[in-house]
Amino acid sequence: MKSEEDSGSFHMTAVSETNPQNDTRWRRFKDSFKKMDDDIDPSLSEAEKAQIREARNEGEKLKKGINRRHMFLIAVATGIGTGLLVGSGSSLHNGGPAGLIIGIIVVGSMLIPVMEAAGEMAVTYADLTGGFNAYSSILVDSSLCFAVSWNYCIQWLCVMPLELVTASMTIKYWNETINPDAFIAIFYTVIVIANFIGSDGYAEFEFFLNTSKVLMILGFSILCVILICGGASSTGYIGAKYWHNPGAFANSFKGVCAVFVNAAFSLGCTEFLAFSAAEQPNPRRSIPSATKQVVYRIVFLFVIPLFLIGLLVPYNSPDLLGASGSQSHTSPFVIAVSQVNVVPHIVNAVILLAVLSVGNSAMFCSSRTLQSLAEQGMAPSFFNYIDRTGRPIRCLIFSAVCGIFSFIAAYEKQEEVFDWLLAISGLSTILTWSTIVLCHIRFRKALAVQGFSTSELGYRSKTGVLGSWYAFTINVLILMAQFWIALFPIGENGKADAENFFQNYLGMVVAIVFYLIHKVYHKNWRLFRSAEEIDLVRGRKIFDADVIAQENAEDAEQLRNSPLHVRIARFWC
């Protein structure tokens, strides 16, 4: 056995070996790619290993790289990318201005109970390996967990090339003669470098891009109001002109159904706000605050700008994505302000930055998701490799390789590629939301059947089980509507189209294939676990009901004694 002195000696040696003052810059760079803790003596106790990790400050690398300033902008600007800034043009063309607004409001209203359910589950299963991807394995079925988790991973692997293809389409606003792959090479290199720097490189890049997005949306909304009221002498007062001619709905009810998937893609990853809020010191306060952030974000960054676009751009504009004969595929945000000199160029430049932002996030999330799958045993253990700086380096390399697919931007039918990638990503988002609320429903059912009280929960969903049922129903209806649109597309006079079906419903097909493969391989023929069989001990964090009640009472008393402005701020924020 090692003596205390020997252990202390090893501790000092291990720390000194990683001291930057004793290493050359090249050696530190080279050693950063080595597996975390691979040089720590395995015979040491866990306490001694923890001391060495603390001295190296490796364990907190990711959290230190992304601070409160970064998290605020990431939370506010999540989702402002291809779906909103470019894909909304296709939604406007298919559904008309009224269909566009109905779609975003329906999906947005469903997100509130999704957020609440995600918050409750995140606090309850805070220590569960794999995060929300692992909930369904315990609460529903392991095959569902495998299918949805891999579908989610594939979504993020597809989003990076999707965003880069969109970037090449955005560039065409200025120049259609240069090979788009030249720009793809530049954007691809920037994103890969930013992610390989580590979480701090990712966070700083996102902070700059997200700030640009939010400022552009706010400035765009103000300018649109001026234009609608006749601020541009060339157009005069516009008002609701385009709601009357060509009309509010483009393809009646079918057009509205065609909007939902892009709306889901635009609002994708909103549930992450609940998971990040659940990690705060007081989740009972931070999760409701995050839910309010979602409401404000949906209203001010999605509903209002899209409503203004519907007033300024007719759904039969030949420049919209998806319009017959359209060559430029210009963003509806650019079309809306096209009568004002210079402004369209500024808006298009920010759209380009926004697209790169989502591409950057996609590489970050896909690598972490793949590493999480490997840690759970759902992906090859080869990918469960984290280097000394906290990077899942092998997963990053794999994500970068998948990103090379974006070089098909020079392909003459890049719009079809855009549709394929968007369909996979959009449906995956809906499947993820459905699984979160389904897990919440099953969890509450198991608590009731097995005699547990909800007072043991660190946070309880404000919308409850009824809210989760509402969200689950909306998600199922969206999947049914998309099935109808995919099989009998708009403008085909009711004729079934197999190619269009797979192009627009591929995400669900992929999920079903993964689900069946897992069922057959493990010979697991049950659809779901019964409430009596659900293991409510594994991974669950049980809270003392008396302590929670006391904390709530103290918080309420403190709020009653707070100044009026504090109570107002708490109510709204």
The three-class DSSP label of residue 322 is coil
* Same domain, residue pair 131 and 48: no
Number of compact structural domains in the chain: 2
Q: Does residue 3 register a pLDDT over 60?
A: no
- Does residue 37 fall inside a structural domain? yes
The CB density around residue 452, as the number of other CB atoms within 10 Å, is 16
pLDDT at 41: 55
Q: Which CATH number characterizes residue 372's domain?
A: 1.20.1740.10
- Does residue 560 fall inside a structural domain? no
User: Confidence band (pLDDT; 50, 70, 90) for 437?
Assistant: very high
Percent of residues, the chain, with pLDDT higher than 90: 26
Q: For 493-503, how does the pLDDT look when each residue is reduced to its tens digit (9 = 90+)?
A: 768 888 788 87
Task: List alpha helices for 337-450, DSSP H.
Answer: 343-375, 393-403, 414-449
The token pair at 149 is 């988790």
Q: Residue 356's domain spans which residues?
A: 61-542
Task: Determine the average pLDDT of the residues in 246-273.
Answer: 86
Q: For 185-235, how does the pLDDT look when each residue is reduced to its tens digit (9 = 90+)?
A: 999 998 998 888 866 666 777 788 888 888 899 999 999 999 999 877 666
Q: What is the dihedral of CA 186, 192, 198, 201, to 10 degrees?
A: 20
* Same domain, residue pair 487 and 461: yes
The CB density around residue 234, as the number of other CB atoms within 10 Å, is 6
User: Confidence band (pLDDT; 50, 70, 90) for 61?
Assistant: very low
* Same domain, residue pair 142 and 242: yes
Q: Does residue 469 register a pLDDT over 90?
A: yes
- Identify the burial level of 364 via C-beta atoms within 10 angstroms of its C-beta, where 0-12 means exposed, 13-18 middle and 19 or more buried: buried
* Same domain, residue pair 93 and 42: no
* Same domain, residue pair 508 and 417: yes
Which amino acid belongs to residue 306?
A: L
The token pair at 249 is 């709905």
Instruction: Name the percent of the chain in helix, strand, coil, to the closest 5.
Output: 70, 0, 30
Axis-axis angle for helices 271-278, 283-298 (nearest 10)? 160
The three-class DSSP label of residue 35 is strand
User: Confidence band (pLDDT; 50, 70, 90) for 551?
Assistant: confident
* Same domain, residue pair 140 and 32: no
* Same domain, residue pair 150 and 35: no
Axis-axis angle for helices 498-522, 464-487 (nearest 10)? 130
* Same domain, residue pair 39 and 129: no
The three-class DSSP label of residue 129 is coil
* Same domain, residue pair 474 and 417: yes
- Does residue 569 fall inside a structural domain? no
pLDDT at 272: 73
* Same domain, residue pair 49 and 136: no
pLDDT at 22: 47
- Does residue 123 fall inside a structural domain? yes
Question: Which DSSP category does 376 fall into?
Answer: T
pLDDT at 144: 92
Q: Does residue 36 register a pLDDT over 70?
A: no
Q: For 131-186, how does the pLDDT look when each residue is reduced to its tens digit (9 = 90+)?
A: 777 888 889 999 999 999 998 888 888 888 888 888 887 888 888 788 888 888 99
Residue ending a domain, among 13, 34, 56, is: 56
* Same domain, residue pair 214 and 330: yes
- pLDDT, averaged across the chain: 81
pLDDT at 16: 43
- Does residue 559 fall inside a structural domain? no
Residue (of 78, 102, 87) closest to 332 by Cα position: 87
* Same domain, residue pair 52 and 134: no
Which of 12 and 297 is assigned the larger pLDDT?
297
- Does residue 464 fall inside a structural domain? yes
Which of 422 and 526 is assigned the larger pLDDT?
526
Residue (of 108, 308, 346) closest to 216 by Cα position: 346
pLDDT at 66: 54
Q: What is the phi/psi pair of residue 222, to 5°?
A: -65, -45
Q: Does residue 102 register a pLDDT over 90?
A: yes
